[in-house]
């Protein structure tokens, strides 16, 4: 009797897990974030990029992999997600490393300034909900989400079950393929029209928030353990844009000075583009979408500068003549470059 009960229980548990595994993707919110992550991590297993870009919306809209390929022949994917805390970045990076053989990893550190224990739930879910079941996902749930929410991250249908009323054929036939060609890049096309109002240069530094410092250290240690080349960045933004926030460091400029010290100690490049605006011809009025994010023209300037840095400092093959990368949708690339040049001239 006991044996039959165990067998029946095992069968029931298997069927329950099987049904949930089918329903979870159906009920999860479909978004551009989901599309880019699924395409970049899971739908093209044969792809292996030279460079993986990680971070929040600053990175997502700040580095254009298609421009990088067009200018330097460097292959890359921008895995950054809007509002992504640094602890989530760490576990997503571990998932990325399953796919790529020790790429160059560029991590933007805007979210190093977060002082809260956990990031905003909506932003965290953009990444964690769309990770395949793995130890990386389990650890992300355990370390990056509040205890009372963890079960809903593990079984997302518990969070989204009310969506049954609004499910459409797009949920059933979730086609994310068109997002693949942007390589994770998405940037604004507005021009901010205001000068930088943040603090000037300073040589002082301050301590980092404890949790984000812990995960910066984890990322650095991971680079040494796995053997990938790590580059740290801070893409342009007005340091005053976070003034008054109770969940953010009070002195970002001094925080990034501390990052520079840590990077030097570990022999890791740190490129603070807030300190390079004049050098790369960056016009805050014309090249920012708003006070916190660059626009498509600003991204073009930053991408070209970073591409030159990568070519000068790393042994990278020029892939522009490699038929393997013919799928990089040249029409998309040319139209994007043309729009940058045309709109820039007309401004």
| pLDDT above 90 for 181 | no
Which residues in 323-344 are b (16+ Cβ under 10 Å) and which e?
Answer: eeeeebbeeebeebbeebeeee
| pLDDT above 80 for 23 | no
Note the pLDDT of residue 45.
76
Tokens of residue 57, six digits:
């919306």
Using 50, 70 and 90 to split pLDDT, how confident is the model at 12? very low
Q: Residue 295, SS3?
A: strand
- pTM of the prediction? 0.87
Residue 133 burial (10 A CB sphere; 0-12, 13-18, 19+): exposed
Higher-confidence residue: 140 or 243? 140
Higher-confidence residue: 230 or 346? 230
Note the pLDDT of residue 36.
85
Give the range with max mean pLDDT: 237-251, 263-277, 312-326: 263-277
Q: Which of 15-24, 239-248, 314-323 has the lowest mean pLDDT?
A: 15-24
Higher-confidence residue: 54 or 4? 54
| pLDDT above 80 for 324 | no
Note the pLDDT of residue 173.
54
pLDDT averaged over every residue in the chain: 84
- Report the share of the chain in percent with pLDDT over 70: 77
Q: Which of 127-131, 139-143, 220-224 has the lowest mean pLDDT?
A: 127-131
Using 50, 70 and 90 to split pLDDT, how confident is the model at 10? low
In whole angstroms, what is the distance from residue 178 CA to residue 35 CA?
A: 9
Note the pLDDT of residue 156.
77
In whole angstroms, what is the distance from residue 220 CA to residue 253 CA?
A: 21
Note the pLDDT of residue 18.
47
Give the contacts of 211 (CB within 8 A, at least 6 positions apart).
87, 114, 117
The superfamily CATH assigns to domain 2-346 is SGNH hydrolase (3.40.50.1110)
Note the pLDDT of residue 102.
81
Within 10 angstroms of residue 128's Cβ, the number of other Cβ atoms is 22
Note the pLDDT of residue 70.
85
Q: What are phi and psi of 52, to 5 degrees?
A: -115, 125
In whole angstroms, what is the distance from residue 149 CA to residue 145 CA?
A: 7
Q: What's the whole-number mean pLDDT along residues 236-263? A: 94
The alpha-helical segments, DSSP class H, found in 73-134 are: 86-99, 121-128
Higher-confidence residue: 148 or 17? 148
* Bridge partner list, 106: 53, 231
Note the pLDDT of residue 133.
87
Using 50, 70 and 90 to split pLDDT, how confident is the model at 317? confident
Note the pLDDT of residue 164.
47
Using 50, 70 and 90 to split pLDDT, how confident is the model at 30? low
Q: What's the whole-number mean pLDDT along residues 79-92? A: 96
Q: How many CA atoms lie within 13 A of 195 on its CB side?
A: 3
Q: What are phi and psi of 90, to 5 degrees?
A: -60, -45
In whole angstroms, what is the distance from residue 127 CA to residue 315 CA?
A: 31
| pLDDT above 60 for 343 | no
Q: What's the whole-number mean pLDDT along residues 126-149? A: 94
In whole angstroms, what is the distance from residue 20 CA to residue 34 CA?
A: 19
Using 50, 70 and 90 to split pLDDT, how confident is the model at 19? very low
């Amino acid at each position: 009797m006991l044996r039959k009960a165990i067998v029946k229980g095992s069968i029931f548990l298997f069927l329950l897990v099987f049904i949930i595994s089918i329903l979870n993707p159906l009920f999860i919110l479909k978004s551009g974030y989901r599309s880019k992550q699924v395409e970049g991590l899971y739908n093209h297993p044969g792809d292996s990029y030279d460079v993986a870009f990680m971070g929040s919306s600053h990175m997502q809209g700040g580095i254009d992999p298609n421009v990088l390929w067009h200018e330097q022949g460097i292959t890359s994917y921008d895995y950054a997600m809007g509002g992504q805390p640094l602890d989530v970045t760490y576990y997503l990076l571990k998932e990325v490393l399953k796919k790529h053989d020790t790429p160059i990893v560029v991590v933007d550190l805007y979210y190093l300034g977060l002082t809260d224990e956990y990031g905003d739930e909506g932003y965290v879910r953009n990444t964690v909900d769309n990770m395949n079941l793995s130890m990386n996902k389990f650890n992300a749930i355990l370390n990056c989400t509040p205890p009372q929410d963890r079960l809903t991250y593990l079984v997302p249908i518990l969070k989204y079950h009310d969506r049954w009323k609004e499910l459409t054929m797009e949920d059933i036939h979730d086609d994310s393929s068109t997002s693949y060609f942007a390589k994770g890049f998405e940037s604004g096309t507005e021009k901010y029209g205001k000068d930088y109002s943040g603090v000037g240069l300073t040589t002082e530094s301050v301590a980092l928030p404890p949790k984000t410092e812990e995960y910066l250290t984890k990322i650095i240690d991971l680079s040494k353990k796995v053997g990938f080349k790590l580059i740290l960045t801070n893409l342009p933004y007005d340091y005053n844009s976070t003034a008054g926030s109770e969940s953010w460091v009070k002195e970002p400029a001094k925080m990034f000075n501390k990052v520079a010290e840590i990077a030097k100690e570990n022999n890791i490049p740190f490129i603070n583009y807030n300190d390079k605006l004049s050098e790369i011809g960056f016009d805050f009025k014309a090249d920012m979408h708003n006070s916190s994010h660059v626009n498509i023209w600003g991204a073009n300037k930053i991408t070209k500068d970073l591409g030159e840095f990568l070519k000068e400092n790393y042994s990278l093959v020029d892939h522009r003549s490699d038929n393997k990368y013919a799928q990089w949708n040249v029409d998309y690339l040319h139209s994007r470059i043309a729009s940058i040049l045309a709109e820039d001239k007309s401004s």
